[in-house]
Amino acid sequence: MTDLKQIYRDYIDCLNGQAWSNLGTFVADDVIHNSNPLGLAGYRKMLEQDCAAIPDLRFNVEMMISEHPYLGSRLRFDCSPKGIFLGLPVNGRCVSFHENVFYQFDNNKIVRVRSIIDKAALEAQL
């Protein structure tokens, strides 16, 4: 069985390298993010916007567990979002927060993402 963890590590490297033209290697054309049918183009746009809003954005995998065809990950961010982020006036301050996220794979590509960002933790730092 395919090693989803290795695919996921490569996916995270793709994000951290902002290698957007490779994104389709890891993400399916019809990917759904939470309940939004973003598709690959919409998913790429979301990530590009995140990187524009957070110049020092870096995805750090704090833990991951895998049970085919799913992978769960806890990501940690230490970064300085510009202006308003998640509706909060971060304005370039350094903040730390987590994202708990479940990915569903099909044919070794991410088809569904169920993500929650810890907005309450972020808020507590402002």
Positions in the binding site for a second copy (CB under 8 A): 63, 65-67, 70-72, 74, 86-87, 98-102, 114-120, 123
Q: How far is the CB of 123 from a second copy (least distance, A)?
A: 8
Return the closest-CA partner of residue 12 out of 81, 82, 110.
110
Q: State which residue, 2 or 25, has the beta carbon closest to a second copy.
A: 2
Q: State which residue, 108 or 115, has the beta carbon closest to a second copy.
A: 115
Q: How far is the CB of 99 from a second copy (least distance, A)?
A: 7
Cα(57)–Cα(1) distance, integer angstroms = 32
Q: Are 54 and 92 in contact (CB under 8 A)?
A: no
Give the SS3 label for residue 12.
Answer: helix
Q: State which residue, 27 or 71, has the beta carbon closest to a second copy.
A: 71
Q: How far is the CB of 78 from a second copy (least distance, A)?
A: 15
Cα(14)–Cα(75) distance, integer angstroms = 15
Q: State which residue, 80 or 100, has the beta carbon closest to a second copy.
A: 100
Instruction: At 72, give phi and psi (nearest 5°).
Output: -115, 140
